[in-house]
Amino acid sequence: MRNLIDIKDLSVTEIEELIKVAEDIMQNPDKYSEKCKHKKLATLFFEPSTRTRLSFEAAMMELGGNVIGFSSADSSSTSKGESVSDTIRTVGCYSDIIAMRHPKEGAPLVASTKTTVPIINAGDGGHNHPTQTLTDLLTIYCEKKRLNNLTIGLCGDLKFGRTVHSLITAMSRYENIKFVFISPEELKIPTYVKVNSNIDYIETKDIEEYIDKLDILYMTRVQKERFFNEEDYLRLKDYYILDKEKLEKAKKDLCIMHPLPRVNEISTEVDDDPRACYFKQVAYGKYIRMALLLKLLDIK
Amino acid sequence: MINIDSIENGIVIDHIQAKKSLEIYEALNLGELDCPVAMITNARSKKMGKKDIIKIAQNIDLDLNILGYIDPNITINIIKNDKRVDKYHVELPKEIVNIAECKNPRCITSIEHELDQVFILTDKENKTYRCKYCEAKVVKN
Ligand SMILES: [Zn+2]
């Protein structure tokens, strides 16, 4: 494999290998500090996403490599009307690997056909964001020591949330996974996601109904840009606010996740709870990206 | 049935779903051929009730992907010296290129026009094709 465009590009075995390498990096960071010496990562962000870009850049730097790139379309030649294909052909001459984010769906797939340099999809519109899914998988693995036999609650915007859809796809490949979909009527999970993944699930509007059964609680943000009218957004954005009280009946070893940034779907009073894993999740994101860079650059 | 001269050399596209022949005529650019082309619509068929037939009085290269995509039940007969020398069926193509267009405004093909419009068969039973780039379903006319 030379590119990562869609999480489905990775087999279960390949994901396992990435997780092993990420764990080894966490335990022996010095061993990896010069692995990517003299290698260049280009971060091409045709749409800004500081969080994801910094994670990639930090990952490359901790491997001893260098970073070039741009952080928005205004500062790139796109603003002069250059096509994605031409930008990639050019940048492919300067870099060893490319992480790219683009507002148009399928742009990274196009890029991968225009250069021999490996392409990582760092998010293409509302379509795919495979390194977020890898981050989620590493978090679950490190916190629960397994990827099977889990009951996973997904809460919030399950209709538009792409991170949720690809996490379901990824987790549906493991044994004995049960999902609890928690959302208001308007933001229910689309039927095709449930049908395609052939999964075991229950649906509810009430966050507390099954909270005592959950091993993982994955909270998501209701995104303003998905709504046509302000009224619906305001009504739905605070539909769920996770606080100490709601967590009373939850398991002692529950793992609370969130792809971040959060707005107010998790009350800050939860941050100090040992079950809150969403900031650890950020750190895991860097380690899995380090493992991915090594894999795609074919560095052992 | 109206009598249409049988052809000496050429192709008979048979078992076309009734009323689909015009779509095929246009998709294959049959109007640009020099030879006679006959279209018969609503012909009686034991198997189908009604069907369309197209007769082309010349052996041309057919794009089987287009035919299979429009109607996978079509049969093709090759005629030489008044005799049928070959008969075959088309099937749903695994991939279609530049036949349908992606209607998703968020798709990369909406801004990068030199890209081929590629759709992949993702569900044979429901004849679902999805855009290679954005995975949006093809919207059939
Ligand atoms: Zn498309």
Question: Structural domain boundaries of chain B?
Answer: 10-89, 95-139
The pLDDT > 70 percentage for chain B reads: 95
Statement: residue B37 has pLDDT above 80: yes
Mean pLDDT taken over chain B: 91
Residues of A within 8 A of B104 (CB-CB) are 105
Which pLDDT tens digit goes with each residue over A137-182?
A: 999 999 999 999 999 999 999 998 888 999 999 999 999 999 999 9
Q: Among 3.90.950.10, 2.30.30.20, 3.30.360.10, 3.20.20.60, what is the CATH number of B95-139? A: 2.30.30.20
How many angstroms separate the CA atoms of B60 and B67, rounded? Answer: 14
Two structure tokens written together for B133: 């780039």
Best mutation site among B122, B128, B134 for testing chain A: the one with the most A CBs within 10 Å?
B134
Mean pLDDT to the nearest integer, B87-102:
93
Superfamily of domain A131-282: Aspartate/ornithine carbamoyltransferase (3.40.50.1370)
Strands A200-204 and A177-182: parallel
Report the number of secondary-structure helices (H) and strands (E) in chain A: 10, 9
Two structure tokens written together for A24: 């080894």
pTM of the model: 0.88
Catalytic annotation present for A289 = no
Per-residue pLDDT band for B2 (boundaries 50, 70, 90) equals: low
Tell me the C-alpha to C-alpha distance, in Å, between residue B82 and each of A167, B53, B89.
Answer: 61, 17, 20
Give the model's pLDDT for residue A1: 61
Residues of A within 8 A of B137 (CB-CB) are none
CATH architecture of B10-89: 2-Layer Sandwich (3.30)
Residues of A within 8 A of B115 (CB-CB) are 110
Statement: residue A251 has pLDDT above 90: yes
Predicted-complex ipTM score: 0.87
Do B133 and A106 count as a contact with CB atoms less than 8 A apart? yes
Two structure tokens written together for B18: 């009734």
Statement: residue A78 has pLDDT above 90: no
Which pLDDT tens digit goes with each residue over A203-249?
A: 999 999 999 999 999 999 888 777 778 888 888 888 899 999 999 99
Tell me the C-alpha to C-alpha distance, in Å, between residue A123 and each of A104, A106, A199.
Answer: 9, 10, 25
Statement: residue B3 has pLDDT above 60: no
Catalytic annotation present for A115 = no
Using DSSP's 3-state secondary structure scheme, residue B53 falls into strand
The pLDDT > 90 percentage for chain A reads: 81
- A81/A16: higher pLDDT: A16
Mean pLDDT to the nearest integer, A50-59:
97
- CATH 3.40.50.1370, chain A: domain bounds: 7-128+284-296, 131-282
How many angstroms separate the CA atoms of A195 and A72, rounded? Answer: 37
For residue B95, the CA-to-ligand 1 centroid distance in Å is: 14
Give the model's pLDDT for residue A63: 98
Q: Among 3.30.310.40, 1.10.730.10, 3.40.50.1370, 3.20.20.370, what is the CATH number of A7-128+284-296? A: 3.40.50.1370
Give the model's pLDDT for residue B47: 85
Do B110 and A104 count as a contact with CB atoms less than 8 A apart? yes
Give the model's pLDDT for residue B76: 95
Report the number of secondary-structure helices (H) and strands (E) in chain B: 2, 8
Q: Cα–chain-centroid distance for residue A142?
A: 16
**Matching residue, tokens 């994101």:** A285
Most confident of A234-238, B60-64, B101-105: B101-105
- Count of pairs with CB atoms under 8 A, one residue in A, one in B: 47
**Matching residue, tokens 């006319």:** B141
- A221/A108: higher pLDDT: A108
> Is residue A212 within 8 Å of A251, Cβ to Cβ?
yes
Give the model's pLDDT for residue A162: 83
Angle between helix A50-62 and A278-296 (nearest 10): 60
Q: Could you check whether B10-89 and B95-139 share the same CATH topology?
A: no
How many angstroms separate the CA atoms of A240 and A237, rounded? Answer: 8
* Identity of the amino acid at A220: T
